[in-house]
Amino acid sequence: MVKTTINLDDEIYAEIIKESIEKYGSTKNMSKIINQRLRSRMNPTGKRKARITFKAKENLSSLDADSEIRRGWEESNK
């Protein structure tokens, strides 16, 4: 195991903290959540999955854009 420091956006950090508490009851397992998410993006050969694309509405505020991106991400992962 390698230890390193990474800088996360506040929203991503909050999401990982929330998931860690829901799954494991504490924030001590943030690394597990991050590793699981990164592994789920890999295919069996160890290479990244193809880029995911989807259409979003034009002229979105930043909050609307975030929700559109999440919705597109969730739909593509079904």
Q: Is residue 34 part of a domain?
A: yes
Domain assignment of residue 13, yes or no: yes
Q: What is the average per-residue pLDDT within 6-32? A: 89
45 inside domain: no
CA distance 37 to 24: 15
Residues 34 and 12 grouped into a single domain = yes
Of 66 and 39, the one with more pLDDT: 39
Distance CA 63, CA 75 (A): 19
Q: For residue 76, is it within any domain?
A: yes
Of residues 49 and 28, more confidently modeled: 28
Residue 22 lies in a domain: yes
Identify the pLDDT of residue 10.
Answer: 92
Q: What is the pLDDT of residue 29?
A: 85
The whole domain housing 64 covers: 50-78
Q: Which of 73, 67, 40 is nearest to 54 (CA)?
A: 73
Number of domains in the chain: 2
Q: Would you say residue 16 lies in a domain?
A: yes
For the chain, how long is the longest CA-to-CA vector? 44
